[in-house]
Structure 1
Amino acid sequence: MNPISILLLGFAMSTDAFAAAIGKGAAMTRPRLSQALRAGLIFGVIEAITPVIGWLLGKGASRYIEAWDHWIAFGLLLVLGLHMIWNGWKPDADEPVDEARKHGVVGLAITGLSTSIDALAVGVGLAFVDTPIAVVAVVIGLCTFTMVTLGVMLGRVLGGMVGKRAEIIGGIILIGVGAVILYEHLSA
């Protein structure tokens, strides 16, 4: 693969994470740049690791991973999206919302993992091509870091415009990303 192809692959792998980050940013209460950078780092690291795992598994398990990756990604994003929609419709409790727990490392990691299942499948495919997987993984991770950081900050703007029900929009975005992943794999 040439450098341009690797860069395009990196941005292609980060698009679903970008959409999910917009939803996360919209659901958060005015996220700061440090929170956006943290989300970008979590998503970027996960997105960089998954193609390497896929590449390692690619020797013997490619047909199993490729057969189910889109269903796993869709299922995780559907559940996360429905959870966000549910939280958006629930009446507000009198106690303050614990933003750290609601949008903490674990929640971001689960969302990041669910949007990186396609990178796992790409890693499987790259196992059969003469490609420097370390370079590809770093590029995918950096592209995802950048796109997610921008997505969270863009979500901040959207969150301010739509008010406290922004979490519903974030849930719909996650479900939409999952549906697109499922559609792309089933129609290919």
Structure 2
Amino acid sequence: MNPLSILLLGFAMSTDAFAAAIGKGAAMTRPRLGQALRAGLIFGVIEAITPVLGWLLGKSASRYIETWDHWVAFGLLLALGLHMIWNALKPATDETVDDAKKHGFVPLAITGFSTSIDALAVGVGLAFVDIPIAVVAVVIGLCTFSMVTLGIMLGRVLGAIVGRRAEVIGGIILIGVGAAILYEHLSA
């Protein structure tokens, strides 16, 4: 994977966290920069750890499927991209939770983990191709930190309008990265 693909992957992995951050920001009375940075840090750290965990799981299985690993990476990224698009297009559910409970560490960590499940699966897929997982994890973490911080601050202004579209774009990018991996291996 080239640096542009890694950067695009980082931003694709951060779009669901960005969408969640917009929702969190829209629910906050007036989000301050400190609150946005805290949420960005929580999401970014979690999002950086999960692809490494997935990569470790994938590496343990890679010797069994080495001949068709690029197809596995493509299939996982395609499935995740389609899943993100599907989630963005389905009707949103409306939850009413006590405001003090919505913005604490535990709810943010749970939301951060739930938006990073796709990064875990991407880590599994990346274990089958020659990729510096530490670089990818740092890029994903930094992109998520930036996007969540921005999402919290923009939440009151943008609300649900951009959040859904961001996930669609992220899904399309994931599918594109998967197609690029498949193309690189088939044309080599």
Indicate which of 78, 95, 98 corresponds to 1:86: 95
1:60 aligns with 2:69: no
User: How many angstroms apart in 2 are the aligned matches of 1:122 and 1:86?
Assistant: 29
Which amino acid in structure 2 is aligned with residue 36 of structure 1? Answer: A
Alignment of 1:1-188 (within 5 A): 1-58=1-58, 59-60=60-61, 82=93, 85-87=94-96, 99=100, 101-158=101-158
Which amino acid in structure 1 is aligned with residue 53 of structure 2? Answer: I
Which amino acid in structure 2 is aligned with residue 60 of structure 1? Answer: A
Output one character per residue of 1:123-147: Cα deviation in whole Å (capped at 9) or x when no partner: 0011111111000000000000000
Counterparts in 2 of 1:98 and 1:8: CA distance versus 1, 3 Å: closer
Report sequence identity in percent. Answer: 73
Output one character per residue of 1:74-126: Cα deviation in whole Å (capped at 9) or x when no partner: 9xx9xxx75xx2317xxxxxxxx653x32111111111111111110110011
TM-score with structure 1 setting the length: 0.67
User: How many angstroms apart in 1 are the aligned matches of 2:95 and 2:125?
Assistant: 37
User: How many angstroms apart in 1 are the aligned matches of 2:102 and 2:114?
Assistant: 17
User: How many angstroms apart in 2 are the aligned matches of 1:8 and 1:87?
Assistant: 34
Which amino acid in structure 2 is aligned with residue 56 of structure 1? Answer: L
Q: The residue matched to 2:119 in structure 1 has which SS?
A: helix
Match of residue 166 from structure 1? none
Q: Which runs of 5+ in 1 are unaligned?
A: 89-96, 160-168
Output one character per residue of 1:19-53: Cα deviation in whole Å (capped at 9) or x when no partner: 11100100111110000001100110010000000
